[in-house]
Structure 1
Amino acid sequence: MAVIHHTTMQPTKLELLAAWLPTRAWYAGGAGEPRPAKAGGFRLDDPAGEVGIEFMAVTDGTGPDAVAHLVPMTYRGAPLEGAEHALIGTSEHGVLGTRWIYDGAHDPVLVAQLYALLAGRAGAQHQSLDDTTDPTVSASLAAAGTGAELVRVVEGPDHTDVEVRETGADAPLTLRLRRVLRPGADDAPARGRVTAGWRRPDGTTARGTFTVALAGQA
């Protein structure tokens, strides 16, 4: 399992997101200056132990109208070739040195592990504790294959569609990341979904769909 280093990052992830989020087509935080706050999420392990993987929920704003966004991120010790467009920024880690932080929707390691989570072959890990699973995250996928590889990414008004090719499957599968998180059940017909919780600015909790698996192309 991944080791979580309790150290400094300069700039912090939230500082990087404050600059990056307003550049996204799905950003719903309004016209004011972004003030993202960490509100929940979970981690996944990279089997090779090289890439950090985090699904972070961030709130922007205060009160009942605060918007929650989903930002899957990967942390790498070197640039990911061909993914310059997906770079959120770089940060100096107090233990590991320079880290390249990417929008994980474009990172094949995150996509492969998200599919493994849906298929029941990977477990969600606690966001802040070493060697601790997060039982509050639920995931399922009907007729799961043995693996999947990233094909392409398509941005939507409130989501990001990640098209994958499942091992041995004839038709593609789309993993839809719900960039704007909404509490409650997701009624979209789907082969599978990932559901998790987050905290509102007033301290109450919400739970909703982070990802749905849809048959067909993105």
Structure 2
Amino acid sequence: MSAPVPADAAVDEAVAALLGEWAPRQRWFAHKGVAAHVVRIERTPLDEGGVAQLVALTVRSGEGGEAAQTVYSVPLTVRPAPDEDLAHALVGHLPDLPGGPAWVYDGPHDPTWTRALLTLVAGEEGAGSATFGAHGTSADGGLPIPAGARTKVLGGEQSNTSIVVQAGEGEVPLIAKVFRVLSAGDNPDVVVQTALAAAGCARVPRPAGWVDGQWTAPDGSRAAGHLAHVTEFLAGSEDAWRVATAAVAAGRDFTTEARELGRATAEVHAVLAAELATEPATPQRLGALADGLADRVAWASAAVPQLREVAPAAAERVEAVRHVRDAPALQRVHGDYHLGQVLHSPARGWVLLDFEGEPLRPLAERSTPDLALRDVAGMLRSFDYAASSVPAPDEASAAWGAACREAFLDGYAAAGGADPRQGGSGAAALLAALELDKALYEVVYEARNRPDWLHIPLGAVQRLLATG
């Protein structure tokens, strides 16, 4: 007769099986459409009652040489009875646990879990152990954490989960972003926004604090990094994507707003260059960048068959980066810049968000100095998306997008940013390659997540290769 399974191990096994079915269906799951198997689960309570739990789930996606292991943060609340208010967030029911039945909920939707997280930040407290756990930090001079606040999860996010913390009278509302894919190292969303705010830059939300932690990496080693970031929530603001697409639909000029957005972008780049490390764009670094861009061409063309015919021309375009001799210095950048990453505040104008970088890039790569023109390329691509958002894009919508692109570059150059339209400047070759690189990323993303949108970046790739 075999020995009985310890109660904690039995609970872990049951929760892991439940999450193995549930997690791949979530928007933040990174490897959709392939076989997924849970390799490891780590759990620890965040509150005294053990209702709020911190969970790290290691998942192997794919098979054979294509298999990849990813560690996900899967916050949970576990309750001995169902909660009707959380029915929409039910992960599953476990009727046969050693301690009795349990109802498992997606933690960010449960105010109990969010309050436990904010308690760590406010008190700079820890939970769990030195091998698996979390610790909160309040930002120096940052915003206070409201007590007993109401919470609401924002919809529409692709790779993380954000929780709005409604404040009481006289308190500043907050937003807590929970990072879903865990990577060892400092998350640039925390590092970059904190540096900008500390320098007095009003183009980012003010910080309140963050939570970091430690967990088991896929190779079995100990990993440490950020789990969540808590900042000011700009109530009453509108994201630039909605503002821009409304203008497209109404046939309304958007060049004034685009010009101001260019100025705001250049201001942020200037502060980042002054406050965080920069590196000269040496021939060796440009060569490495060209190699990375070439790898993107190969990756994208292998992932999406429609790109294979244009791969040679794309490879030639990015090779031009290797021969630029007057490139601006490399610096910290946004890394995934588009209209959806910007808010318009009636009091503060354009405010930039989400400095985490592209979700598909390794964290170490997203944290290294880069060309500020990568952000410029991202926003130019976003104007193309906005122009294509109307039901039947035509010459008028295309002209709208082209006018916004020029206005954005006008504002960027007027505020001190490198103007890629300047005659004889290597910035033109750099921007062309980076805009193509962004479009290739978009092709792969849309093919995997939104096939109905695939024609937008595919058309951009063809257009970018036909010009210049």
Deviation at 1:194, TM superposition (A): 0.5
2:33 matched residue in structure 1: 31
1:53 matched residue in structure 2: 52
Q: What is the DSSP-based 3-state SS (H/G/I as helix, E as strand, rest coil) of the residue aligned with 1:195?
A: strand
Q: Equivalent of 2:221, from 198, 204, 208?
A: 204
In structure 2, relative to structure 1, the CA distance for the partners of 1:26 and 1:7 (3 Å cut) is closer
1:73 matched residue in structure 2: 76
1:113 counterpart letter in structure 2 = A
Q: What is the DSSP-based 3-state SS (H/G/I as helix, E as strand, rest coil) of the residue aligned with 1:175?
A: strand
In structure 2, relative to structure 1, the CA distance for the partners of 1:43 and 1:168 (3 Å cut) is farther
Alignment of 1:169-180 (within 5 A): 169-180=170-181
Deviation at 1:202, TM superposition (A): 1.8
Q: Judge which range, 183-192 or 103-112, deviates more.
A: 183-192
Deviation at 1:99, TM superposition (A): 0.4
In structure 2, relative to structure 1, the CA distance for the partners of 1:9 and 1:203 (3 Å cut) is closer
What stretches of structure 1 of length at least 5 have no aligned partner? 127-132
Alignment of 1:1-218 (within 5 A): 6=8, 8-9=10-11, 12-38=14-40, 40=42, 42-46=44-48, 49=49, 52-61=51-60, 65-120=68-123, 123-126=126-129, 137-141=134-138, 142-145=142-145, 147-155=147-155, 156-167=157-168, 169-188=170-189, 189=193, 190-217=207-234
In structure 2, relative to structure 1, the CA distance for the partners of 1:134 and 1:61 (3 Å cut) is closer
Q: What is the DSSP-based 3-state SS (H/G/I as helix, E as strand, rest coil) of the residue aligned with 1:83?
A: helix
Deviation at 1:58, TM superposition (A): 1.1
Deviation at 1:210, TM superposition (A): 0.6
CA distance in structure 2 between the partners assigned to 1:60 and 1:202 by the alignment: 12
CA distance in structure 1 between the partners assigned to 2:152 and 2:116 by the alignment: 16
Deviations 1:86-127 (A, max 9, x none): 11101135443110000110111111111111111754134x
Deviations 1:149-197 (A, max 9, x none): 2331014111100111245543310010001122211232232111112
Percent identity reads: 27
Deviation at 1:11, TM superposition (A): 7.1
Q: Judge which range, 26-35 or 59-68, deviates more.
A: 59-68
The alignment's TM-score, normalised by the length of structure 2, stands at 0.40
Deviation at 1:53, TM superposition (A): 1.8
CA distance in structure 2 between the partners assigned to 1:92 and 1:85 by the alignment: 19
In structure 2, relative to structure 1, the CA distance for the partners of 1:143 and 1:170 (3 Å cut) is closer
Give 1 or 2 for the bigger CA radius of gyration: 2
The alignment's TM-score, normalised by the length of structure 1, stands at 0.81
Q: What is the DSSP-based 3-state SS (H/G/I as helix, E as strand, rest coil) of the residue aligned with 2:31?
A: coil
Number of residues paired by the alignment?
A: 206
CA distance in structure 1 between the partners assigned to 2:13 and 2:214 by the alignment: 26
What stretches of structure 2 of length at least 5 have no aligned partner? 1-5, 194-206, 236-468
Q: What is the DSSP-based 3-state SS (H/G/I as helix, E as strand, rest coil) of the residue aligned with 1:124?
A: strand
Higher helix share: 2
Is the contact made by 2:136 and 2:212 (CA closer than 8 Å) also made in structure 1? Answer: yes
CA distance in structure 1 between the partners assigned to 2:176 and 2:144 by the alignment: 13
Deviation at 1:20, TM superposition (A): 0.5
CA distance in structure 1 between the partners assigned to 2:113 and 2:170 by the alignment: 20
Is the contact made by 2:182 and 2:225 (CA closer than 8 Å) also made in structure 1? Answer: yes
In structure 2, relative to structure 1, the CA distance for the partners of 1:52 and 1:37 (3 Å cut) is farther
CA distance in structure 2 between the partners assigned to 1:209 and 1:186 by the alignment: 6
Which has the bigger relative contact order, CA under 8 A and spacing at least 6? 1
In structure 2, relative to structure 1, the CA distance for the partners of 1:202 and 1:145 (3 Å cut) is closer
Deviation at 1:136, TM superposition (A): 6.0
2:34 counterpart letter in structure 1 = G
Q: What is the DSSP-based 3-state SS (H/G/I as helix, E as strand, rest coil) of the residue aligned with 1:74?
A: strand
CA distance in structure 2 between the partners assigned to 1:202 and 1:135 by the alignment: 15
Deviation at 1:135, TM superposition (A): 9.0
